[in-house]
């Protein structure tokens, strides 16, 4: 039997930070297609997406919060409403983009990634979270994207 590597939290304490987290989810509907997909996801289709945002702080504010839930709504959920809700997400390198953008330019959001749930989660943490939570003292450390009730993808910053 393979032995798991020994993990000593004392020796590795430099890598460990205490974090307190809060999580809020938000639902939107959006279309996409996965360019290069072997099967039906190559077709334009949509999902009722659910995004779970986990925000962390190293300490609580004066009344005991990481961040008020309404701030998560204003800064992250609203970003989804403004940028992705009821839009068609297409990768900037998608061969269909050039034609579709001529027909329905207002319906399309051009993404710098093939719009899988995995890439959306990564982009939301690395780019959107960093931008939207700037100056708050909090960090978006995790995002889980549910495409259906059965299928999710997530991206998480590990300290
Ligand atoms: Zn899909």
In the chain, where the domains are located: 17-156
126 is an active site residue: no
CB 117 within 8 A of CB 152: yes
Per-residue pLDDT 10s for the chain (159 aa) are 454 444 444 444 445 568 899 999 999 999 999 999 999 999 999 999 999 999 999 889 999 999 999 999 999 999 999 999 999 999 999 999 999 999 999 999 999 999 999 999 999 999 999 999 999 999 999 999 999 999 999 999 987
Residue 19 C-alpha to ligand 1 middle, in angstroms?
A: 33
Element holding 30 (H helix, E strand):
strand 20-32
3-class state of residue 1 by DSSP: coil
86 is an active site residue: yes
Which residue from 128, 98, 126, 127 is spatially nearest to 35, judged by alpha carbons?
98
Which CATH architecture group holds 17-156? 2-Layer Sandwich (3.30)
Residue 45 C-alpha to ligand 1 middle, in angstroms?
A: 6
Which residue in 45, 58, 86, 92 is the catalytic one?
A: 86
81 is an active site residue: no
What's phi and psi for 100, nearest 5 deg? -65, -35
């Amino acid at each position: 039997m393979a032995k798991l590597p020994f993990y000593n939290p004392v020796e590795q304490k430099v890598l460990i930070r205490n974090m307190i987290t809060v999580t809020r989810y938000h639902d939107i509907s959006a279309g996409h297609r996965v360019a290069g997909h072997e099967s039906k996801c190559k077709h334009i289709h949509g999902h009722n997406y659910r995004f779970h945002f986990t925000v962390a702080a190293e300490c609580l504010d004066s009344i005991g919060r990481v961040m008020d839930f309404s701030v998560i709504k204003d800064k992250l959920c609203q970003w989804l409403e403004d940028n992705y809700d009821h839009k068609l997400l297409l990768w900037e390198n998608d061969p269909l983009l050039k034609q579709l953008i001529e027909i329905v330019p207002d319906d399309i959001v051009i993404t710098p990634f093939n719009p899988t749930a995995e890439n959306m989660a990564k982009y939301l943490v690395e780019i959107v979270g960093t931008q939207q939570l700037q100056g708050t003292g909090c960090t978006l450390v995790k995002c889980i994207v549910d495409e259906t009730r059965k299928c999710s993808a997530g991206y998480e910053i590990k300290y």
